[in-house]
Structure 1
Amino acid sequence: MNTIQLVWKNLSRQFGSVFLSILLTAFGISILAVLSITGETFEKQLDNNSKNIDLVVGAKGSPLQLILSSVYHIDNPTGNIPLDELEPLRQNPLVQLAVPLSLGDNFKGHRIVGTDSSFLSIYETSVAEGRIWQSNFEVVIGDQVAKKQQLKIGDQIHSSHGLSKDGHHHDEHPFTIVGILKHNNNVTDNLILTNLESVWDVHGIAHKHEHQETAVEKELRERQEDREETLKAHLHHHGEDIAENSSAPAKTNEKGRHEQEEHTDHEEGAVFVKSIGSDMVKQNGLEITAILLKYQSPAAIGILPKLIDQQTDMQAASPAMESTRLFSLLGVGIDSLSILAYVIMFIAGLSVFINLYNALKQRKYDLAIMRTLGASKGKLFAIVLLEGLTITILGGLIGLIMAHLALYYISNQTSQSADFIEAFTLHPKELIFLFVACLIGIFAALIPAIKAYRTSISGTLSNK
């Protein structure tokens, strides 16, 4: 019987205690692997998704919620802001790029984002297949959306209201896929992009706008007609007092007065249109969810956020600051769970040591017989050491499998737009975890192995 067979035979004789040691090792390794992989992946995604976004402008509320909804797409928006706030920010000399976002719908968990072509610039991505949208209800999808939902260019999709895939379906407004983005390893891989007008049209805002625009024009026309009737009556009333031989200057004067009346009426109408139009933007929902800003220069860091917070009804949130705060909050829980994992690993090592030490007491006679049959001290030492290694390596492998299953479960529980965990991808750190498991097995078996090495043949057999 070779060494491996002998090790396996010894372990199978004490299956209960060995299984407990394997299970403890597996739990410790799986917790460490899940925490390490999710933490590293999450931090990497935080950097990838916000590296070109210096500031996010949105409705007042929680700054962290604004960042999570507009940059990472894993929370509900804080509200909407008027569309007419976009252009002043674009004209601001401190701003290099201002990207509008309009959220509200999704397709099977993938968020539909109304925006413009500057969105591709700020995320440094481009269309790999097809083209960018050129008209309403045309969309460009991320490559992960295409793979997960098995979509291709020319397919039509129906959006669901809200940010949950179980929302009401907008069957009357299908979107046509005209492009697929290249893989960018950030949130754009799981998004569906279209223009702002499509998001408004889906919710009937554009139709409402057209209806109220007609009402405004009707009101202006009626007011214009009333003024013309009043002016005619006024001219007819005073026309009887005007002599037939009125001088040319008088006619010129009357003509000038008439032109002045028309000019005044035009100005009043323009003011009326402007005031009604401004109200109409707010009444019709011509709003956006947020604006992503990229600074023109570092000087904007200390000026622009304070300017927006103090002089507008909006708030400005920094992705860098909020992401750091979020990761620091998560870090407390991660550190606590890491300590728990190390405690479990220590208990697993202690369990292996106790099992091997007790087994050694029961096998002292067997070891002495092996020595008489020609087994060297080194072979006895190696057998006990391999038993400890076998327990912890099996525990480590089972722990990594458990970790990937846990990552798969976590990935399924998160939003499709925030699906950043690759559950079945091997990570370099997993080799480190297996090495740690080996070290635990070696140290746990070291004392029993030394005891086996020092086994006295004569003393053991004489006592037997």
Structure 2
Amino acid sequence: MNLVKLSWKYLTFRPLSTGLNVLLLALGLAIITVLLLIQDQFEKKMNRDAAGIDLVVGAKGSPLQLILSGVYHIDFPTGNIPMDEAEKLSKNRLVKNIIPMALGDNYQGYRIVGTNHDYPALYDAQLQSGELWKKPFEVVLGWEVAAKTGYNLGDEFVGSHGISEGSHEHDENKFRVVGVLEPAANVLDRLILTSVESIWFTHDEHDEEESEHADSTAEHEGHPGSDFQESVAMKGFPHSDQSRELTTLLIQYRNPMAAIQLPRLINSGTSMQAASPTFEMVRLFELLGVGITLLKGLAVVIIGISGLGIFIALYTSLRERKYDLAILRAIGASRAQLMLLIFLEGIMLTFMGAVLGILLGHSFLSVIISQNEQGVVSSLQPWIFLKAELWIVVYALVVGVLASMIPAFAAYQTSIAKQLTKA
């Protein structure tokens, strides 16, 4: 007697009831699958993007906003900081290395980041083609930017003012692509990197008070900004004869004592604020954890309802099939085989629900990513399967076994004589 085949026949005999129970279970498991994928990849990506950065310094405001804008480039900056204070901080004995960043422009929503060569070196970035920038308005494209825009070495484009897409263009100066980075699976993939001076000179063109200076420097060597010093700006801290501003400073500590002294020194003794990526990410994960817990709770409720539905379906079906079970007993089936028959039905239902739920979860995440072409969500991989998803299958099978226990025990107690006499 093939119990597996017989169980399958009983399930397909009521396709609507079977399909509804499978779908309800799959929806709950799909929610858990999406949460697992997002939580795993999001935490790994956040930790990877913040690796090597001990402290972020910027304008006063929200520390979390400062981290999100300066490290992950997914929020608006808190403002700008004076260049003289940044230079003074760069000479502090507690600072091992300081990476300046100037923000304020974008191209098709991808942020143009003014910085020095230490920034791509922080992530051990490798060039797919070309070289790093050497002059103002030379840029290096992240892999995702190059893939989405189709730009390659020598191509030119005009940046737009502001962090988000849709602002007016800086058509006075064009950026020229001199390099493209290899895929790095980090924040560099979606950035356009250039020198700090490029950002300064771009905004000089729109500053009426400095328009005469911009015109005169534009004639010098074919690039605006005669105060540009390649040896200093590319390999260290940018210098300028004018009063300039930066957006963010990424700092690496010289020794463990810096973690205690430097943030307090900056927050209390300057007009800037310091924020720790590690501390702020812990806070962020705690905030997100509340929402994730609620969604997981909703998924458990849905799975519980589906388990109840499977129990009702099996119990109702059992009452209608008592005569069939009695016939099976009469032709030689044991009580244990009848019991196993019911368990197989519950396990088959939940296994199909688990497989469908996992596939639905990955599909839902794929749709979400397709609707967010930029930002952190766009960098997630929807078709990566985690080991933790195996526990989803196990969890579903446990639900099937529990839902089948009472109907299986009732099948075990089926009386041949009583049922055949009724017939």
Q: TM-score, normalised by structure 1?
A: 0.78
| CA 1:56–1:456: 2 relative to 1, 3 Å | same
Could you say which residue in structure 1 is the equivalent of 2:113?
113
Give yes or no for contact 2:153–2:179 (8 Å, CA) kept in 1.
yes
**Alpha carbons 2:201, 2:214 under 8 Å: kept:** no
Q: Which residue in the other structure is 1:201 paired with?
A: 201
Q: Distance in 2 between matches of 1:330 and 1:80?
A: 28
Partner of 2:79: 79
* CA apart distance, 1:142: 2.1
CA distance in 1, matches of 2:149, 2:386: 26
Residue matched to 2:411: 452
CA distance in 2, matches of 1:198, 1:213: 12
Match for residue 354 of structure 1 among 306, 312, 316: 312
Amino acid at match of 1:389: I
Partner residue, 2:44: 44
**Pairing 1:153–2:153 present:** yes
Task: Provide the C-alpha distance between the structure 2 equivalents of 1:436 and 1:159, rounded to a whole number of angstroms.
Answer: 51
**Equivalent pair of 1:388/1:442 in contact (CA under 8 Å):** yes
CA positional deviation for 1:172: 4.8
Query: Once the two structures are aligned, what percentage of the paired residues are identical?
Result: 44
Measured in 1, the distance between the counterparts of 2:109 and 2:394 equals: 39
Once the two structures are superposed, what CA deviation does each residue of 1:202-232 show, in whole Å capped at 9, x if it has no partner?
Answer: 33449864724899xxxxxxxxxxxxxxxxx
The 5 Å alignment of 1:321-332 reads: 321-332=279-290
Rounded Cα–Cα distance in structure 1 between residues aligned with 2:285 and 2:418? 62
Q: Report what 2:223 is aligned to.
A: none
* Cα pair 1:74 1:415 within 8 Å, conserved: no
Instruction: Specify which of 382, 397, 409 is matched with residue 355 of structure 2.
Output: 397
**C-alpha RMSD over aligned residues:** 2.6
Matching of residue 309 in structure 1 with residue 310 in structure 2 = no
Give the structure 2 partner of residue 342 of structure 1.
Answer: 300
Q: Distance in 2 between matches of 1:323 and 1:412?
A: 26
Aligned length: 398
Letter in 2 for 1:398: L
**Higher deviation after alignment, 66-75 or 392-401:** 392-401
After superposition, the C-alpha distances for 1:371-400 in whole angstroms (9 at most, x for unaligned) are: 334445444333322221222122222222
For the 8 Å contact 2:57–2:250, the answer to whether it is kept is yes
Query: Deviation at 1:69?
Result: 0.5
Change in Cα spacing, 1:110 to 1:213, as seen in structure 2 (3 Å) is closer
Cα distance, 1:298–1:371 mapped onto 2, change above 3 Å: same
Letter in 1 for 2:395: V
Given that 2:21 and 2:309 are in contact with CA atoms closer than 8 Å, whether structure 1 keeps it comes out as: yes
Pick the structure with greater CA Rg: 1
State whether residues 63 and 317 of structure 1, in contact with CA within 8 Å, keep that contact through their aligned partners in structure 2.
Answer: yes
Give 1:4 deviation, angstroms. 4.7
Could you tell me how far apart the structure 2 residues matched to 1:94 and 1:45 are? Answer: 28
- Distance in 1 between residues matched to 2:89 and 2:176, nearest whole Å: 32
CA distance in 2, matches of 1:214, 1:438: 73
Q: Describe how 1:379-418 pairs up with structure 2 within 5 A.
A: 379-412=337-370, 414=372, 416-418=374-376
The 8 Å contact of residues 204 and 211 in structure 2, kept in 1 or not, is answered as no
Q: Tell me, yes or no, if the aligned pair for 1:381 and 1:452 is still in contact at 8 Å.
A: yes
Structure 1 alignment gaps of length 5 or more: 216-276
Aligned letter for 2:285? F
Q: Deviations over 1:292-339 (max 9, x none)?
A: 111111111121112112222111111111111111111122122222
Aligned match of 2:236: none
Which residue of 2 is the match for residue 135 of structure 1?
Answer: 135
| 2:230 aligned residue | none
Residues 454, 412 of structure 1: CA spacing in aligned structure 2 closer, same or farther, 3 A cutoff?
same
Q: Distance in 2 between matches of 1:429 and 1:43?
A: 15
In the alignment, the residues of structure 2 paired with residue 405 and residue 198 of structure 1 have an alpha-carbon distance, to the nearest angstrom, of 42
Deviation per CA, 1:172-210, whole angstroms, max 9, x where unpaired? Answer: 533332222233332112222111122233334498647
Alignment of 1:29-428 (within 5 A): 29-205=29-205, 209=210, 211-212=212-213, 281=243, 286-412=244-370, 414=372, 416-418=374-376, 419-428=378-387
Q: Aligned partners of 1:175, 1:321: CA distance in 2, in Å?
A: 36
Q: For residue 303 of structure 1, give the secondary structure of its aligned residue in structure 2.
A: helix
Matched-pair contact (CA < 8 Å) for 2:205–2:214: no
Q: What are structure 2's unaligned runs of at least 5 residues?
A: 217-239
Report the AA paired with residue 33 of structure 1: T
| 2:419 equivalent to 1:463 | no
SS at match of 2:98: strand
3-state DSSP class of the match of 2:96? strand
CA deviations 1:214-251 (Å, max 9, x no partner) are 99xxxxxxxxxxxxxxxxxxxxxxxxxxxxxxxxxxxx
Q: Counterpart of 1:424 in 2: which secondary structure?
A: coil
Q: In 2, are the aligned partners of 1:109 and 1:415 still within 8 Å (CA)?
A: no
**Equivalent residue letter for 2:325:** L
TM-score, structure 2 normalization:
0.85
CA distance in 2, matches of 1:3, 1:156: 69
Change (3 A) 1:175 1:375: farther
Q: Deviations over 1:149-169 (max 9, x none)?
A: 444333434433322233334
Kept in 1, the 8 Å contact 2:323–2:419? The answer is yes
Once the two structures are TM-superposed, the CA of residue 5 in structure 1 deviates from its matched residue by: 4.6
- Structure 1 residue identity aligned to 2:190: N
Q: Which runs of 4+ in 1 moved over 6 A?
A: none
Q: Higher helix share goes to which structure?
A: 1
